[in-house]
Amino acid sequence: MIIKPPSEPSSTREAMSSSHGRCRRIATEEAFAVPTWLDAMSGLSVDGSEANEVRFLRFVQSIGEWRQGLIDFDHRLKIMDDCGVDMHLLSLTTPGVQSFAPDQATAIARAVNDELAGIVARYPGRFAGLATVAPQQPLAAAAELERAITTLGLNGLLINSYTNDEYLDLPKFDPILAAASSLGAPLYLHPRTPGPSMVKPYAAHGLIGALWGFAADAGLHAMRLIMGGAFDRHPELQVVLGHMGEAIPFWFWRIDNMYNKYNSLGAGPAIGIKPLKRLPSEYFKTNISITTSGVNSHEHLRFAMNLLGADRIMFAIDFPYESSEESVRFLDTAPITPEERHSIYHLNAERLFKIKPAL
C-alpha cells in the first residue's frame, strides 16, 4: 500500500534525501497485545516463577503511550503514517504465552493467532503477523504453527527465549524447530529477562531488561542453538535476532577461535562442546538474520553489514517501546547505497517472511 505524504513534511521525511528514492518500509519487530492475553496475564502472581515478567508487564501498562501502542491499532496506524512506515510485522509482546500452565498457554496461543489473523485481514496491506505458540507443549505448538501458516496465512513465529528455564536446543523442543523448518517459517527469537537460573546478578543496577539482560538472554539462546547442533539437524531453519544480532557478530572471531582451539587440544568433549559440521559463525551467516530494532546507530549498521552483508539485515522499530521517527530517520540517513537501503527496508523481509511486494 502506498501512503500519501502528509501535507506538512515531518522531520523524518525531510531527512530522507530525494536521491535515495522512496523505499517501502516494513518494520519487523513490532509488539501488540489483545485483551484475551492481557486479562490472562493480569491473573498471574507477582510472587511466582514468572514474577519478573508479570512485574514488567504491569510496568508497561503503567505507561500510557506503551499500552495504547500495544492495543490501539488506529493510533498505531497514525504513527505509521506520520513516519512513512508502510507495514508492521506484528508479534505478541513479551513474554507471550510462556508464563502459563501448558493447557492454558496452548489455548491462549490459538486465540491470539485467530485475533492476529483478523487484524491483518481488517487492515489490508498494513500488517503481517508472527504466530504465537506454547513451547510448554511442543507437539501442540508444532501443530498450531502449521495451522497459523497454512490456514491463517501468518508469516512465521516468535518465541520469547526460554520456557520454564529451558531453551530450544533441547531435544524436547525439536518438533517446533522441525515444523518451522519444513514450513519455511522463520523463527524470531525474542529476549526475555534472564531466566530463574541466571537472573540474580542482573537484578541490580537496571541490568535485568533491555539495558543488558535482554541481550544476554537472547544471545545465550542463539548460541545454544548453534553450539547444540540445531542447524545441523535442521539446515533449512531460519532464525531472526533483533537488536543487531544481540551482540553475537562482535564475538565471531573469538567464538570461532576458541571453538577451534578447544577442539585442537582435545578438550572439547570435556567442556561439553559438540562436534559441528561448520564453524559457529558460519551458521550465523547462513541461518540467522538480524534486525535493527532498538539500535539506531550508523556505526553498528556498517559493522553488521561488513560481517553479514545487507541481505541478512532487516529494518525494525520495536514499537511501541522505541521511537518510530528516530528509527526511520536512522535508516533514511544511513551512508549506504540505494540498493542496500531497499534490501534492509523491505526486500529482505518480503523474501524471508513471504510478504507480498507492494503493488
> Which one of the listed residues 86, 169, 217, 318 is annotated catalytic?
318
* CA dist., res. 323 & res. 329, Å (int): 10
Question: Rounded to an integer, what distance in angstroms lies between the CA atom of residue 248 and that of residue 288?
Answer: 11
**How many Å apart are CA 281 and CA 253, to the nearest integer?**
8
Q: Which residues pair with 122 in a beta bridge?
A: none
Say if CB 192 and CB 160 are below 8 A apart: yes
What are the residue ranges of helices labelled H in the chain? 11-15, 35-42, 51-62, 64-71, 73-83, 102-122, 138-150, 174-183, 213-227, 230-233, 243-246, 252-264, 280-287, 298-308, 324-332, 338-342, 348-353
Among this protein's residues, is 318 annotated catalytic?
yes
C-alpha cell at 184: 519455511
| Residue in the structure block whose three cell numbers are 489483545 | 34
Residue 176 gets the label, from left (phi > 0), alpha (psi -120 to 50) or beta, of: alpha
Q: What is the DSSP string of 270-328?
A: GGTPPP-SS-HHHHHHHHEEEE-TT---HHHHHHHHHHH-GGGEE----TTTS-HHHHH
Phi, psi for 47 (deg, rounded to 5): -110, 0
Distance (Å, whole) CA 180 – CA 154: 12
Catalytic residues: 318
